[in-house]
Amino acid sequence: MPELPEVEITARLIGAAVAGTVVESTSAPGLNALRTFDPPIHALDGATLTGIRRRGKLFLIDASTDLTLVVHLMSAGRLQFYDKRASLKDRTSRLLLRLTDGRELRLREFGTQQRAWGKLLRRADVEGEETLAALGPEAWPDPPPVGELRAALAQSRPLYTLLRDQHVIAGIGRSWVDEILHEARISPFKRGLDLDDDETAVLRGAIIDRLSAAIDHYEQTLTLPLPDKLPLPLRVHRHNGEPCPRCATKLEAVFFEDYVMCYCPVCQTDGKVLKDRRLSRLLK
């Protein structure tokens, strides 16, 4: 699932490429993808795109006509930009913005579920859009200062869950939470309310460092067209069974139905190995 670094680099690269282009026509072959009735998606026809912003894991595609197309990839969506138009046979197409220069901005979705969506809004209504309005503060580039972050995390839920809760802090998901907690040497099972100021400061620094490093890596390695699967520069997530990049202890994992949480028992949990299935349920 694309998280903050992946959405950020996509917004930067595609945003720069589409700025100044004119929309010729729009279509939504994946009917579930479109949550727009007023203004209708065709209100974009003839508009000049001015760029793409990111909020949390969402895209805000701005047009000159005071319209913004909000796009949420959910777990399997991708925003991509092509020199050619999609074949009608491309079953991954959900939303298409055909440009007058022959290129195409395309929301695609892989897998069988149709959950990715787009919503066209008047710019003045963007902030109040329900998903955007419910987002917590941005995890990057400037997460809340230590006091505010500690207050936001002062809940009985474990950090592994809290940091992925978009209402608490926006942008982090299953991949980068493992990297951040490992960097901070904090247990994913630690309850948010048990963090002190020093730990919160370390955690805040780890959030900035890991997300910045990922975005820098993408800046140096990616160009358009973006691949369907971005090569995530992960050191801990999905590296269970491999040596910890810091202390060489074997990385452990807790297995969930369709994903895995990874951590280093020496760096993060005082040597304790926790992969009990009851715990898995607790953490969901």
Q: Which residues form the interface with Zn ion (CB under 5 A)?
A: 244, 246-247, 249, 264, 266-267
CB of 188 to Zn ion, least distance (A): 13
**Best CA proximity match to 18, nearest among 115, 135, 99, 125:** 99
d(CA 104, CA 149): 40
- Least Å distance between CB 251 and Zn ion? 8
Identify which of residues 43 and 261 has a Cβ nearer to Zn ion in the complex: 261
Spatial separation of the C-alpha atoms in residues 250 and 253, rounded to whole Å: 10
Nearer to Zn ion by Cβ, of 146 and 236: the residue is 236
Taking the complex as a whole, the smallest distance from the CB of residue 260 to Zn ion amounts, in Å, to 17
Q: Name which of 151 and 247 has its Cβ closer to Zn ion.
A: 247
Omega cis (within 30) before 225:
yes
Least Å from the CB of residue 178 to Zn ion: 12
Which C-beta is closer to Zn ion: that of 136 or that of 245? 245
SS3 label, residue 101: coil
Smallest distance, Zn ion to C-beta of residue 210, A: 15
- Rounded to whole angstroms, the Cα distance separating 26 from 58 reads 20
**C-beta nearest to Zn ion: residue:** 244
State the Cα–Cα distance between residues 44 and 119, nearest whole angstrom. Answer: 12
Nearer to Zn ion, 152 or 262 (CB): 262
Q: How far is the CB of 267 from Zn ion (least distance, A)?
A: 3
| Residues 6+ away with beta carbon under 8 Å from 169 | 136, 137, 138, 139, 143, 144, 149, 152, 163
Contact predicate 143/149, CB 8 Å: yes
Question: Least distance to Zn ion from the beta carbon of 272, Å?
Answer: 13
Looking at the Cβ atoms of 68 and 268, the one nearer to Zn ion is: 268
Segments in 45-193 forming alpha helices (H): 130-133, 146-153, 159-162, 174-184
The CB-of-245 to Zn ion minimum distance in angstroms stands at 8
User: CA separation (Å) from 85 to 1, 121, 158?
Assistant: 25, 25, 45
* Closer Cβ to Zn ion, 195 or 244, answer by number: 244
* Single-letter amino acid code for the residue at 158: P
Residue with smaller CB distance to Zn ion, 70 or 264: 264
**Distance in angstroms (rounded) separating the CA atoms of residues 60 and 170:** 15
Q: Could you tell me which of 189, 193, 188, 168 has the C-alpha nearest to residue 176?
A: 188
Q: Is 166 exposed, middle or buried (0-12, 13-18, 19+ CB in 10 A)?
A: middle
Q: Which two tokens stand for residue 136?
A: 């917590």
